[in-house]
Chain A
């Protein structure tokens, strides 16, 4: 089964994507060309295989939930998927003080929630303050978006002022991840220790739709089945063309693809690569474009690890990279719908990706030579011997990676055999895999050798760079990588407001990670969405697909033809 993202906690990776400043590759308008006249109305039937695990923003981990919030809640800012620049949402404009510490946002006046209650700056301030207040408990999953914040003020009903203690480079990318909740609905949960904030299901009750402020109102929700949305007449922005849409959840890819083929669905997000040809042959439009997700081969890089020390040897790590046939993996496992990988900041982030870094080419002779030089000769069975034991390792393989990942593993395994290294796949479900990586305990990182996994980074590189810090042991780290110089660079980039200067640091960090190889990035996965272009046009494709968690463009511009 496909699941977007990493660990059951796909969330902050998959869902909360930050937009980048600058850069222009990566997004394309879907359905361009051949767009007929805009026909108002209609209901879009959208299929998904990841689905919504919960509609409570403080609980959910799935990308579809965050996309849902994007369309039912106001956000201060969103991003333009073509230019990758920030765009107005509930805040029509904003300015920064000269010292970079004060951010002032001007929100849409006279806005209303779907139930007719006023939607003002007060809702914004209440939401942010609640998240900060309970940041060590129920609202922890959003608290990182308010790092270094000092205070939040609302001088009038249409102005929000955020004051920071130190300059923060990622204010906008943080704020575009935080849905603004209706205070008049939610404030009754924010009492005591705030536990109720996490317990409310936030689903339509007694036939009443969810109080929404975005372009759509959520009217119906059935766990693991369906979520329905209707146009919100009170929306403060441009009203969508469609009357509403439904998001249907499928347990398996095949049923969704079949439903699309037979006209029971209008569009499916993230179709499996094996279905691309089928759907094209059936006359459907398949969008292929650069995405953000990447797949990586992890080498335990905890400096305190003592077992199998040969794996810390840079020559061995280089040899491994030489022995990974990225082209073959892209061709066989991904049927060509992927790009060979290099750094952990994917090309889909635009200019944040350091394209000067080139992966080591597939070269088994070179790999063998490096291992010979390192002093690990082949034993009689063809397996090399290092430090008195055969170079035979277990690769932790989470459930997330099954399918194409299995194929990739087989290719790597066969090639590693040629360089005298034996690897064995150890399949586990995601949380067990994470537990095995962090073992012993939750911050050990000393027992595992190798693993494979994937990330869906944010568009701003801050998040994916943050996972390699020492302080991420037990949180996001799955490599045990820990380097003080790197951590220092991370802090530096996070507070460098000047984009060009920040980019230089980000490049430097990518360079260091590439050379240290806690990850060998195998490939970047393409976005593969499919829809019925005979009836629909105007989807806005992006590096997040057509149901973007950070932009309201796609479904507000969509229309029938």
Chain B
């Protein structure tokens, strides 16, 4: 069966990619100059014994190859090491960061899809009209704004009106009810999510527009039109359905990258997510944290690529490569 073949192939590729990613990830970090040990052991009157102890504690005294095996072995147990900076397990720190990032990114992506689909359909429907021109050009403009710049503009415009930093009103003592908490997070999420949505939606606008236009030019659509079917029906029944294929694939694919792409937004809005963890880890030279975050980001991309592959297969079984 060619279908099964395809799925096996893609799965094998995904697994191979994960392994390569882990390996690259390891070596990328071990060839870096400037050992974090110089920092950690930088306590006054630190004895050479202490420095050795610290190096040993973090496995930095072993050969690169041994460190690699140690790393692989630990990973199989879900152990990503201990953060140099906080001395806490990397995974537990990153898990929390990831939990903070996901809702913000999810809301932003959702908004971008909604705006993108709406403007894309509008553009395709009214091809060549002023509204098409405007919506396409605005989409391209938002698309070309540097993310961090757009975020700063949002701060200039909305500072004081909407919360500009953090994920919750942090100064709540006691335990808020679930509803209060949701409302609090929601308000804080508006600016970062909106920024994310604005930087992303143009992509959807353009892709929905062009794939719909492509369909509208196809023979069967022309036939439908000739048969006198109303424009609304043609758009909904044929064009839109066809446009779903690239759109859905794009959504799946981009999900993997947005988490990584939210770094700039998280830095500007002080959002305590994985992007900011990367940024903090870079500044503190916290190798295990950086390595863990990088691995998680890579794996999320691999995973969503795989999902996109499967979706693509599901939506268009002709594709067997």
Direct contact of A and B (CB under 8 A): yes
Using a CB–CB cutoff of 8 Å, the interface residues on chain A facing chain B are 1, 7-9, 12, 43, 45, 53-54, 56, 59, 136-137, 140-141, 143-144, 195, 198-199, 201, 207, 219-220, 222-226, 228, 230, 244, 246, 248-252, 254-256, 258-259, 261-262, 264, 399, 429-432, 434-436, 438, 442, 466, 471-472, 474-476
Q: Please, what's the 1-or-0 string for B249-275, where 1 marks a CB less than 8 Å from any CB in chain A?
A: 000000000000000000111101000
A246 and B170 in contact, given A223-B96, A251-B279, A258-B159 (Cβ under 8 angstroms): yes
Is there an interface contact between A259 and B45, defined as CB atoms closer than 8 Å? Answer: no
Residues in A with CB closer than 8 Å to B159 are 258, 261-262
Residues in B with CB closer than 8 Å to A222 are 170, 272
Residues in A with CB closer than 8 Å to B269 are 255
Is there an interface contact between B160 and A262, defined as CB atoms closer than 8 Å? Answer: yes
A250–B170 Cα distance when bound, in Å, is: 12
A251 and B44 in contact, given A7-B39, A222-B272, A261-B160 (Cβ under 8 angstroms): no
A432 and B34 in contact, given A143-B45, A224-B276 (Cβ under 8 angstroms): yes
Q: What is the CB-to-nearest-CB distance from B133 to chain A, in angstroms, rounded to a whole number?
A: 36
A475 and B165 in contact, given A198-B87, A246-B170, A442-B38 (Cβ under 8 angstroms): no
A72–B28 Cα distance when bound, in Å, is: 41
Q: What is the CB-to-nearest-CB distance from B190 to chain A, in angstroms, rounded to a whole number?
A: 14
Query: Taking CB as reference atom, which chain A residue is nearest B86?
Result: A54
Can you list 9 A-B contacts (CB < 8 A)? A54-B88, A59-B86, A144-B45, A226-B166, A248-B170, A251-B279, A258-B159, A261-B159, A431-B285
Query: Taking CB as reference atom, which chain B residue is nearest A265?
Result: B171
A256–B159 Cα distance when bound, in Å, is: 11
Is there an interface contact between A12 and B43, defined as CB atoms closer than 8 Å? Answer: yes
A220–B173 Cα distance when bound, in Å, is: 9
Is there an interface contact between B43 and A264, defined as CB atoms closer than 8 Å? Answer: no
A475 and B96 in contact, given A8-B284, A251-B279, A431-B36 (Cβ under 8 angstroms): no
Is there an interface contact between A219 and B173, defined as CB atoms closer than 8 Å? Answer: yes
Interface residues of B in 76-114 (CB under 8 A from A): 82, 85-88, 93, 96
A318–B156 Cα distance when bound, in Å, is: 47
Residues in A with CB closer than 8 Å to B51 are 442
The one of B38, B46, B155, B270 that contacts A251, using a Cβ cutoff of 8 Å:
B270
B137 on the A face (CB < 8 A): no
A198–B82 Cα distance when bound, in Å, is: 12
Using a CB–CB cutoff of 8 Å, the interface residues on chain B facing chain A are 33-36, 38-39, 42-47, 49-51, 53, 57, 82, 85-88, 93, 96, 155, 159-160, 163-167, 170-171, 173, 175, 267-270, 272, 276-277, 279-280, 282-285
Is there an interface contact between B47 and A1, defined as CB atoms closer than 8 Å? Answer: no
The one of A137, A228, A432 that contacts B53, using a Cβ cutoff of 8 Å:
A137
Query: Taking CB as reference atom, which chain B residue is nearest A203?
Result: B88
A476 and B44 in contact, given A225-B167, A431-B39, A435-B33 (Cβ under 8 angstroms): yes
Residues in A with CB closer than 8 Å to B36 are 431
Is there an interface contact between A56 and B87, defined as CB atoms closer than 8 Å? Answer: yes
Residues in A with CB closer than 8 Å to B88 are 54, 201
- Excluding A140-B43, A251-B276, A430-B39, 6 further A-B contacts by CB distance (< 8 Å) are A9-B43, A45-B171, A226-B170, A255-B268, A258-B165, A431-B38
Is there an interface contact between A54 and B38, defined as CB atoms closer than 8 Å? Answer: no
Residues in B with CB closer than 8 Å to A228 are 170-171, 173
Of residues A56, A59, A201, A431, which shows the largest number of chain B Cβ atoms within 10 Å of its Cβ?
A431
Residues in B with CB closer than 8 Å to A430 are 39, 285
Is there an interface contact between B38 and A438, defined as CB atoms closer than 8 Å? Answer: yes
Is there an interface contact between B87 and A54, defined as CB atoms closer than 8 Å? Answer: yes
Q: What is the CB-to-nearest-CB distance from B44 to chain A, in angstroms, rounded to a whole number?
A: 5
Residues in A with CB closer than 8 Å to B171 are 43, 45, 226, 228, 246, 248
Query: Taking CB as reference atom, which chain B residue is nearest A229?
Result: B173
Is there an interface contact between A223 and B93, defined as CB atoms closer than 8 Å? Answer: yes
Q: What is the CB-to-nearest-CB distance from B254 to chain A, in angstroms, rounded to a whole number?
A: 25
Is there an interface contact between A475 and B44, defined as CB atoms closer than 8 Å? Answer: yes
The one of A136, A223, A476 that contacts B272, using a Cβ cutoff of 8 Å:
A223
Is there an interface contact between A141 and B87, defined as CB atoms closer than 8 Å? Answer: no
